[in-house]
Amino acid sequence: MPDIHAGDTAAELLALGAATVGESGGRPMSPRIRAAWPGARLAAPAFPVRCSPGDNLAIHVAVASAPRGSALAVDVGDEEEFGYWGEVLTTAAETRGVAGLVIDGGVRDASALAEHGFPVFSTTVALRGASKNRPGIVGATVDVGGVSVAAGDWLVGDADGVAVVSGPAIEDVLRAGRARVDKEEAIFGALREGKTTLELLGLDASPVEGA
């Protein structure tokens, strides 16, 4: 049965953003994982995929079997510079309700991905196509961007990168994220009134020569 609260959770995670989520108990992925096109944003439960290096058969299987509303989190091993994903898989994913892709490897058809508005976060853009006949695994925990990702963990991506929230921790992270936003709003107000970040954050300027 679909989680009737998943849409609300996704909307709140998107509003908080990857940076705030990553500072509120989420686990930031390596900065090598970044938006494949400007403006890409994602908040969705993960469906993990592990490919053989240079092969994307497991991704095709995942697109056909992932729960609607989930986003693929893909480990391709040590062969990043292949176009593991492109417009064909994007079209298939949209049709089947897949929400996005986070891949520790390359994608291609970047302009088409942007035209579709399909959220993709990858390490690179690469022309070379992948084979489609080697072993893989779907649904099992994977390592993507230096972070362990299990089925049902939340992926949050935007211009700042991607953060991962474990399923059981989602309410705690949301609560901490709200508190962080409130604290920052108070800081912004104080800065506009003339306070300095040194005062507000309790920073010691003495290590800086000339301070």
Q: Is the pTM of this model over 0.85?
A: yes
Contacts of residue 198, defined as CB under 8 A and 6 or more positions apart, other chains included, come to 205
Q: What integer best gives the mean pLDDT of the chain? A: 96
Q: Which among 86, 173, 159, 82 has a CA at the least distance from the CA of 128? A: 82
- Tell me: pLDDT of 208 over 50: yes
Which sign, positive or negative, has the C-alpha torsion 4, 167, 152, 105? positive
Contacts of residue 167, defined as CB under 8 A and 6 or more positions apart, other chains included, come to 45, 150, 152, 153, 154
Q: Is 43 helix (H, G, I), strand (E, B) or coil?
A: strand
Q: How far is CA 145 from the centre of its chain?
A: 10
In this prediction, residue 1 carries a pLDDT of 37
Q: What are phi and psi of 176, to 5 degrees?
A: -65, -35
Question: Token pair for residue 107?
Answer: 């994608």
Listed range (5-9, 41-45, 92-96, 195-199) with the worst mean pLDDT: 5-9
Residue 48 in contact with residue 150, Cβ under 8 Å? Answer: yes
The confidence band for 6, taking pLDDT boundaries of 50, 70 and 90, is: confident
CATH topology of domain 6-167: Glucose Oxidase; domain 1 (3.50.30)
